[in-house]
Structure 1
Amino acid sequence: MKILENIPKRRQQPKYKRLSRIYYNRMFPRNQDAMKVAWSVFIGVFIGVWPTIGFAIILTVAICALFRLPKVPGVIADFVANPVTQFGLFYPGGYLIGCKIVNPAPITFDFLGEFERMSIRNCAVILKNLWVNAADHLLAFMVGITIMAAVVGFLFFFAAYFIVSRRKKKWIAGKTSYIHNLIAEDEIIIKESRNKGKPMMHIYPFKALRPVNPAEAKDISALPYDVMNRAEAKEMAKGLPHSYLRVTRAEIELPDSVDAYDPKVYAHARENLDKMIADGVIAHDKKDCLYVYRQTMNGREQYGLVCCVPAADYFNGIIKKHELTRADKEEDRLRHVLDTNANTGPVFLTYRDNGQFDLFGAVTKRKPVYDFVSDGDGFGHTVWIIDDDAEIAAIRKSFEEIPVSYIADGHHRSAAGARAASYRAEQNPKNTGEEEYNRYLAILFPSTQLKILDYNRVLKDLNGRTPEQLMEDLKQVFDIEPLAEMQHPAKQNQVNMYLQGKWYACTFKSQFLKNLGPVDSLDVALLQKLVLKPIFDIDDPRTSKRIDFVGGIRGLGELVKRVDSGECACAFAMYPTTLDQLMNIADAGEIMPPKSTWFEPKLRDGLLVHTLD
């Protein structure tokens, strides 16, 4: 796994071998798009073969820059045409081809010899003489050399495409294997890590990559990548050329046949991010700053501190998690971070406030840099910048009094950010731990301001039972009372069920509530253990196709709609998990059942981005 181990052996090789390898790697880079490299090589070869008289490199760089192609492969390809190949092959061959096509009249002097004598200083004189004395031969030469340049260029084009595609495939396979090993190793690190001394949070200011024009912030920012499907993301980005979904969900600009996890998606995300920077749509702040991010929902406000947190805090348990992550989802975000060289979405963290929020009071009285209401949900988003060094130092010191933080939302983003740091650190033999890539983007909200919404369940069928049989089975678990109207559960340990157009209040019987741990006492855990598994035969709700989940933001009306339409057979409205339950479970090192929490409002991607370098 240590890719630098074989460098000493390489240095023992002859110099020509080392140089050949260097130029080969630069001409056929494995981390670039194969088609773009191939076109760059074609341009370099074509211009090199064509009589550009000393301007080949300049023209190649200019054309590659114009078409946003990698420049180095083209520049190296220029040297395919050198004095030996030009005067020994390309020029004579091109001249013969041109003569076959144009069929010029005989001349009494050495036409190609004139070309061999040509330089930047005398090219105007020689070309004028050739035009006056042998115009048809000059035309034949230009036609032939153009054909020769195109043929040789396309030969190199196909060769470059094949070589780069093959190298990239092997590189990605090796990189994927490395990532799998990295994930496994980091899991061991997390389990073995123990905090020494007093635990404390560490936060860092950073130079945010953010929208230049505040008026465009609303259209640039986007919901998190994982709250919509591909079709929904494509619809959301329609008419918004700078929507950040073109970075976080870059597959929306590719054919539907391209898988969302295809390497092309990550490469395209990087291209779109680079283009937004090049076009001046987004830019880095000039100095390291902290930021305050306010969200407003239905009159309720929550204020978060936008900062970077060290990957070491994730591995050492300072940043606590309460959910399991899926390997495929984690790898997806890890590859996205590494390929874009950025944390494109923040991790939603919470903490037990100890007066830290009071430090934001003066900040929020200033004029914000962004202040808008997002379309669709009507939620407010406001951002202030903290760029005063003394103010930043005071906030950082205050947060050191907080022992731990908790991942509220974004477990996959957090794992990806931390493991990207591990990956980059291992690539750098001089890593000190202070490099920018050793941190990732987070927003810290005090737990007192947050509200967890219900995360409800809908069942596709009754597992072979009639509604009457289901009610009889449920009476063994619940005390059931009919409800006159649709309503949320009134208390913990109560689940409201919708079946055949009617609502029922279902309270777990007291014998099932004794001697329960922090996880087992959750309503979602009780429902899984006592109802979903034994009655509906659903062992793993994460993989079962017979259950679906509806976030509380959609309201109970969505449950009624899903059942009344015939799409589902019944629905269970859950009492929301509390922040205290979440933090107690994380403190105990336990894992919550899947789909236990739903946070609103969602953080916007693209307002503040952290780049790794």
Structure 2
Amino acid sequence: MAEIQPVRGWRYNPALLTQIDDVVSPLFDVVSVRQREALYQQPLNSIHLSVPRPEGGLPPHAAAARRLAEWQAAGVLRQDELPGIYVYYQYFRLPGSRRERCRKGFMCHIRAYGWEEGVVLRHENTLPAAVNDRAELLAELQFQTSATHGLYRDEAFALERLMDEAIQDPLCRTEEDYQGARDVLAVIQDAPTIRRFQAVLAARQVILADGHHRYEGSLAYRQARELAAGPGGSTGREPWNYHLMYLTNAASDDLRILPTHRLLLELPASLPDAELLARLAPYFTVQPQAEAQDLPEIIAGKRWAFGLYLPGGAAYKLRLRPEVHADLAWDTTAEVKDLDLTVLHYFAFEKALQLGGAEAQRSGPALAYVRGLAECLQRVDRGEARAAFLTNEVTMAQVEAVCHSGAVMPAKSTFFYPKTLAGLLFSSLENDFSVFDQVFHEPQPLA
């Protein structure tokens, strides 16, 4: 199913690898404004390409293009001589755990498949303005500045041994990134080995974990290039037909999804806590709890169970009354209706609190999305939020079930951890395929 190709990667000059932590950057939406500002102060940081700002009288995308040209001319960024599969390992610990885990994956080009082709599957919707921004940046730079994250399932773990061998000879490594992970990059440039990677992916679909806007930006840019080329004007092998992706095995225990909690920011000022609880009671059993800190443990593993935290330290366990689930009236699949977050958004936010339907909740000002328990409690205590609704994490099995059903999840359903870094690898959309690349256009089956 999925066609992948090796990349003639662009990377930071080896002289800069001793300060790799100063040039890599996190995904834009997972760090605070203060953290982003600190990144912009680093003159060679990859954020100037991936999320550019106006500079020197130029709009953001033009400023990024000028900076990219300067970096390439000065040798800040250099292109590898041979194409390869770039192995990317992230060593990390989950909050509260001393066990070090390792998420194993690799970066490559994947053909930019439209959703209707059923090869790359999505689990969330996108915002058109954000997709257009990514497509316009791609058109301006002719450069892919950060890999999206895709998942394939291989219960045989056919590629892990090959990646384990490659990672013994790393190209670079971070000391500790912003989320406490250690990132290690290596490359495989052996043609027979690359064909094995291609053969494994050729039999599989890919679920997009992170980067829906960037992936759709690649689709939009490809479509624009095809339209400009006209009928018969492209071969399907031009670099703009491909997208830079980081692929990990969904069968691995070290692929982790963390919960994203909901903060209720707006309610009528006159609505007392007792009335809020009364509105929830027809849909949920409401049980007071002694300690808010215990809520995640109390609801862990329980279907349709949530924690509720109110001003003054009041904590409650909510659990949907099973008999009301049949009343869930959203026009979606059974797999989506079964999700905890669908239950929360429909029965708590739409029915009990009258925040409107799914789109109104997604685009309106009433809800915020927070990953840490401590931040949830603090924002309620400071009066920045009216209430915090604590959730369990979505499982990988649920993500796969929803994707294969053809539906999407509620907004901010998944937080795959750790997040990938931008700046370890870039790829070009210029027509620079070498003769060596052509070797890989017809993947062979595994022996």
3-state DSSP of counterpart to 1:250:
coil
The corresponding residue for 2:61 is 266
The corresponding residue for 1:226 is 29
Instruction: Kindly indicate whether residue 139 of structure 2 is the aligned counterpart of residue 338 of structure 1.
Output: yes
Work out whether residues 246 and 253 of structure 1, in 8 Å CA contact, stay in contact via their aligned partners in 2: no
Larger Rg: 1
Instruction: Kindly indicate whether residue 272 of structure 2 is the aligned counterpart of residue 466 of structure 1.
Output: yes
Q: Which has the higher contact order (CA 8 A, sep 6+)?
A: 2
Instruction: Kindly indicate whether residue 100 of structure 2 is the aligned counterpart of residue 297 of structure 1.
Output: no
Work out whether residues 150 and 245 of structure 2, in 8 Å CA contact, stay in contact via their aligned partners in 1: yes
Work out whether residues 177 and 183 of structure 2, in 8 Å CA contact, stay in contact via their aligned partners in 1: no
3-state DSSP of counterpart to 1:542:
helix
Work out whether residues 247 and 273 of structure 1, in 8 Å CA contact, stay in contact via their aligned partners in 2: yes
TM-score by length of structure 2 reads 0.85
Structure-to-structure mapping, 1:533-612, within 5 angstroms? 533-539=350-356, 540-551=360-371, 555-612=372-429
Work out whether residues 461 and 570 of structure 1, in 8 Å CA contact, stay in contact via their aligned partners in 2: no
Range 511-520 or range 488-497, more displaced: 511-520
Range 434-443 or range 366-375, more displaced: 366-375
The corresponding residue for 1:525 is 342
Structure 1 residues 599 and 364 mapped into 2: Cα distance closer, same or farther (>3 Å)? same
Provide the C-alpha distance between the structure 1 equivalents of 2:32 and 2:92, rounded to a whole number of angstroms: 24
3-state DSSP of counterpart to 2:234:
coil
Q: Higher helix share goes to which structure?
A: 1
The corresponding residue for 1:322 is 123
Structure-to-structure mapping, 1:393-432, within 5 angstroms? 393-402=195-204, 404-428=205-229, 430-432=233-235
Work out whether residues 279 and 353 of structure 2, in 8 Å CA contact, stay in contact via their aligned partners in 1: no
Shift, 1:223, TM fit: 0.7
Q: Which runs of 5+ in 1 are unaligned?
A: 1-199, 256-262
Q: What per-residue deviation string (whole Å, max 9, x for no partner) do you get for residues 216-247 of structure 1?
A: 32211101233347664222332x21001111
Q: What per-residue deviation string (whole Å, max 9, x for no partner) do you get for residues 223-274 of structure 1?
A: 1233347664222332x2100111122216468xxxxxxx811111111122
Q: What per-residue deviation string (whole Å, max 9, x for no partner) do you get for residues 184-211 of structure 1?
A: xxxxxxxxxxxxxxxx121110111111
Q: Which amino acid aligns with 1:282?
A: L
Work out whether residues 320 and 586 of structure 1, in 8 Å CA contact, stay in contact via their aligned partners in 2: yes
The corresponding residue for 1:125 is none
The corresponding residue for 1:457 is 262
Provide the C-alpha distance between the structure 1 equivalents of 2:21 and 2:73, rounded to a whole number of angstroms: 20
The one of 169, 177, 180 equivalent to 1:378 is 180
Q: Which amino acid aligns with 2:206?
A: S
Q: What per-residue deviation string (whole Å, max 9, x for no partner) do you get for residues 472-509 of structure 1?
A: 22222212222232131312311011113122111111
Structure-to-structure mapping, 1:102-121, within 5 angstroms? none
Work out whether residues 4 and 108 of structure 2, in 8 Å CA contact, stay in contact via their aligned partners in 1: yes
Structure-to-structure mapping, 1:436-447, within 5 angstroms? 436-447=239-250
Work out whether residues 495 and 505 of structure 1, in 8 Å CA contact, stay in contact via their aligned partners in 2: yes
3-state DSSP of counterpart to 1:444:
strand
Structure 1 residues 592 and 362 mapped into 2: Cα distance closer, same or farther (>3 Å)? closer
Q: Higher strand share goes to which structure?
A: 2
Q: Which amino acid aligns with 1:446?
A: N
Q: How many positions carry a matched residue from both structures? A: 402
Instruction: Kindly indicate whether residue 83 of structure 2 is the aligned counterpart of residue 288 of structure 1.
Output: yes
The corresponding residue for 2:288 is 482
Instruction: Kindly indicate whether residue 304 of structure 2 is the aligned counterpart of residue 493 of structure 1.
Output: yes
3-state DSSP of counterpart to 2:422:
coil
Q: Which runs of 5+ in 2 are unaligned?
A: 94-99, 329-333, 431-447
Q: Which amino acid aligns with 1:393?
A: R
Range 345-354 or range 368-377, more displaced: 368-377
The corresponding residue for 1:127 is none
Q: Which amino acid aligns with 1:604?
A: L
3-state DSSP of counterpart to 2:318:
strand
